[in-house]
Amino acid sequence: MKQVTASAPGKLIILGEHAVVYGKPAIALAIDRRIRCTLSEAQETTLNGRPFEPGKHPYLRSMMQHGSGPVRIFTESSIPPGSGLGSSAALSTSFLKALNTLNGIDKSGKELATDAFLTEYEVQGRASPLDTSASTHGHGISVNGPEDAGEHLWDIVMNDKTWSVRDLRVPNMTLVVGYTGLHAATGPLVEKVRRYKSKFKFADDIIDEIGETTVDGMKALKERDLVRLGDLMTNDHKLLSILGVSCKELNKLVNASLKHSYGAKLTGAGGGGSMIALTDEPEKVCESIALHGGTPFVVRTEEPGVRIE
Ligand code: MEV
């Protein structure tokens, strides 16, 4: 029986979430938390040993409806779902890589990132290709940054928007994640920002400011200026709060981290999920996050992208 395993990393967003959906710049890093997806041919589709229930698994349903025969699916994940750390992108990317390989199709880079993005777009109703590009390429990526931001990888176009994805080299730095334990689905938060934007014209200025903050962040990364980068991250958290995607629990963990950090912010869609802190004192930040009800962990970046195992 033919069997294929693929794995793909989660990610954290340093700057630019939500605004990137509107074509603004963003920075994401793949992290050392992955989803492994093992597929084999079967008479009927099963998921982790049970009959597959499409209604409970919208990402898998969306990917399977594009012409897959029945498959036996096993998934293993070290990324909490709804944690803002890219579990849906890692699932989409690893599943598509395994499915294509099982069917003798060789897709990687732009082609794979685009297919995984279309899955997120379909399930969430709106999305940017940031998470799926980070999961495909691994390491660090910038989207819609200046030309000198790094080697150009691919462009993804949808409706009237183009996202230009570049490899991003980042200096050695320590990031601590604080997971609130609150599961937050991305689609409704992206929709919340859309509604806010259509109701209040000033939200466009906030989105623009997130974009400018992100471009400054790319410069700070290039200059290895962690003090500046930290300030920009904290400012970005303020802007995201104005858009209504932070929450009490995230604010509490951000506040708790700031004393021992260059800066801190929510990461991903918000509404729960996780925050990140840029720090030289990871033990102290972890202690403080735990004391305030979060689950802390230090992440390693420079993680490779999707791969066959
Ligand atoms: C979610 O990880 C990032 C968002 O910007 C949505 C997206 O880019 O698709 C909130």
Fold classified for 3-169: Ribosomal Protein S5; domain 2 (3.30.230)
Q: For domain 175-299, give its CATH number from 3.30.70.890, 2.40.50.140, 3.40.640.10, 3.40.50.10140.
A: 3.30.70.890
Over residues 131-154, the pLDDT tens digits come to 999 999 999 999 999 988 899 999
**In the chain, where does the domain assigned CATH 3.30.230.10 lie?**
3-169
Mean pLDDT, rounded, of the chain: 96
- Mutation probe of ligand 1 site: the residue of 11, 15, 20 with most atoms within 8 A of C-beta: 20
Ligand 1 center–CA 16 separation, angstroms: 9
Residue 67 banded pLDDT, cuts 50, 70, 90: low
* Residue of 179, 204, 162 whose CA lies nearest to 268: 179
Residue type, 166: R
Per-residue pLDDT at 207 exceeds 80: yes
Q: What is the pLDDT of residue 66?
A: 72
Tens digit of pLDDT for each residue in 92-110? 999 999 999 999 999 999 9
Q: Which atom of ligand 1 is nearest to the CA of 268?
A: 2
Which residue among the candidates 32, 106, 115, 131 is catalytic per the annotation?
A: 131
171 pLDDT band (50/70/90 cuts)?
confident
Q: Is 131 a catalytic residue?
A: yes
Give 26 Cα–ligand 1 centroid separation in angstroms.
Answer: 10
Residue carrying structure tokens 């849906």: 88
Among 275, 227, 202, which Cα is nearest to 17's?
275
Where along the chain do the CATH 3.30.70.890 domains lie? 175-299
- Cβ burial of 44 (10 Å; 0-12, 13-18, 19+) is exposed
DSSP state letters, 17-78: TTGGGGT--EEEEEEEEEEEEEEEE-SS-EETTEE--GGG-HHHHHHHTTT---EEEEEEES
pLDDT tens digits, residue range 10-20?
999 999 999 99
Ligand 1 lining (C-beta closer than 6 Å): 13, 17-18, 20-21, 127-128, 130-131, 186, 190, 268-269
